[in-house]
Amino acid sequence: MRDPRRLVDRGEDLEVALLRSALPDAPSQGSKRRMLVALGIASGVATASAEATAAGTLAKVGLAGLLKWVGIGVIGGAAMVGVVETVAPQAAPVSRVGIVAPPPLPRTPAELAPPTVTEQVPAPPAASEDVVSAEPSPQAARSQEPGASTTSLADEVRALDGARKALAGGNARECLAKLESYRAEFPRGVLGLEATVLRIEALAASGARTQARDLGTRFLESHPDSAHAARVRSVIGAETIP
């Protein structure tokens, strides 16, 4: 096995120059001992052969050579650091994790329901102020009472029968009194026309001819086609009144 080639034989120009310049620098024995102690080579653990080898090497190199060797080591270390930095693989790029937005919350049925539209109902037109209300005629009054009870109608019939019996018995004043009671009790009675005709007859029988004629005339003017028109004309003697 051959020894490896020395750096002084195969190194670069700068390295060879530094090594050759350190050859004549030989330290004294005391200097070598102090350097060995400073470098930790002269410890009790090292063997005698190691001391001899280290001493021989230091004798060849010397203190100045040692300093030059240190400079060479620094240069070589810097070169190795550059090589390591160049060869070292680049760190894999860290993938950026995007923040995923949470899914939208489901909409409630109240939000999905369409808005309720309230239809505006136009207000009914106000009644015209030009309409003049008139008092209904007795015939209209009868037609406005379709819901009159049978009991009420029977009461009217009994009241008029009492007045008619009084007139038939020759008591016209009693007939008029009963007719007043009938009008007070049934102001809008169904038999209003019959009560008016009976009043005309009672007035004529009591001697109040003028009142009977005036009431009969108004009756014929209001109800010219009434079934009682001929009877009223015969009572007041108004053949020419329509």
pLDDT tens across 37-62, in order? 666 654 443 444 444 454 454 444 45
| Domain presence at residue 109 | no
- Residue at which a domain ends, from 48, 83, 118: 83
Q: Which residues fall within 8 angstroms of residue 175, CB to CB, at 6 or more apart? A: 163, 164, 166, 167, 198, 202, 205
- Pair of tokens at residue 20: 């050759």
Query: pTM of the predicted model, to two decimals?
Result: 0.39
Q: Tell me, what DSSP letter sits at residue 11?
A: S
Span 99-123, average pLDDT: 55
pLDDT of residue 237: 84
Cα–Cα distance for residue pair 116/70, rounded to 1 Å: 94
Which is higher by pLDDT, 25 or 215?
215
Cα–Cα distance for residue pair 85/135, rounded to 1 Å: 121
| Domain presence at residue 98 | no
Q: Which residues fall within 8 angstroms of residue 23, CB to CB, at 6 or more apart? A: 60, 61, 65
Shared domain check, 230 and 165 = yes
Judge whether 128 and 163 are in contact, CB under 8 Å: no
| Token pair 């003017």 in the structure block, residue | 221
Across the chain, what does the average pLDDT equal? Answer: 67
Shared domain check, 145 and 228 = yes
| Domain presence at residue 129 | no
State the residue range of the domain holding 218. Answer: 138-236
- Residue at which a domain ends, from 83, 118, 146: 83
Cα–Cα distance for residue pair 190/157, rounded to 1 Å: 10
* CATH number where 162 lies: 1.25.40.10
Shared domain check, 165 and 75 = no
| Domain presence at residue 43 | yes
Q: How many domains, the chain?
A: 2
